[in-house]
Amino acid sequence: MVERARILDAVNTAIEKAPKRKFSESVDITINLKNIDMAQPKNRIDETILLPHGTGKKVGIAVLGKGDITTQAKEAGVDLIIGPEEIERLGGEPREARGVASSYRFFLAETGVMPLVGRWLGPRLGPRGRMPLPIASGTDIRPIVERLRNSVKIRTKDKKLFHVKVGTTEMPPEQIAENIDAVMKRVESVLEQGPMNIRSVFVKTTMGPAERLV
């Protein structure tokens, strides 16, 4: 486990070394695993992690369904609402469906439309790790939406190297460090050998040099 002070030092150094820009850059960590066979599905990471301070940027969320879930989605300020007929229409428009799959990070779907989603949108959402979270009738989705707005998704497939967005350069370094700590703890908790399966961790801004953390 990496000490919080060490994480904060790495964040500060990465931000200080980055060329000054007139816009906010993302801050990411790159995690490289070792001594683990990612060809085995049981070793792959597929986790949604709640960040204490969010990513600092808007996370796109789409809701699929009709009736009460769409009313709640509007109240929660969800970015896109897709009804049953629209799900089927998108199934016949591969390019538009790919655009939707790429533009929104999280999808929620009323359980009643999940068969439609699987049939028409599964080929676009599934490979991108964006298959919807099924929502049972009567569930209040507003707290779920709020949580997802502050979350990141890690899905490694068969790769040992992956990147995670942990903030922006406009955020206080302390908040970014706390986000990194949350990600690291979650990743270590799902690895067979915990920290022993981590070869290296680097933190960097979008345009800046990488600073080694582990």
Same-domain pairing of 170 and 204? yes
The torsion angles phi and psi of 79, rounded to 5 degrees, stand at: -75, -35
The Cα 108–Cα 36 span in angstroms is: 32
What is the pLDDT at residue 35?
97
205/171 same-domain check: yes
Q: Is the pLDDT of residue 135 over 90?
A: yes
What six digits make up the tokens of 119? 């049939």
Do residues 87 and 41 both lie within one domain?
A: no
Burial of 1 (0-12, 13-18, 19+ CB in 10 A): exposed
Query: Residue 13's domain spans which residues?
Result: 4-56+151-212
Residues 6+ apart with CB under 8 A from 175: 52, 53, 167
114 shares a domain with 74:
yes
pLDDT score of 118? 96
Give residue 21's pLDDT. Answer: 86
Domain count, the chain: 2
- The answer to whether residue 1 scores a pLDDT higher than 80 is no
CATH number at residue 191: 3.30.190.20
Average of per-residue pLDDT across 163-191: 97
pLDDT (tens digit, 9 = 90+) per residue, 86-103? 999 999 999 999 999 999
Question: pLDDT averaged over the chain?
Answer: 95
Model pLDDT, residue 84 = 96
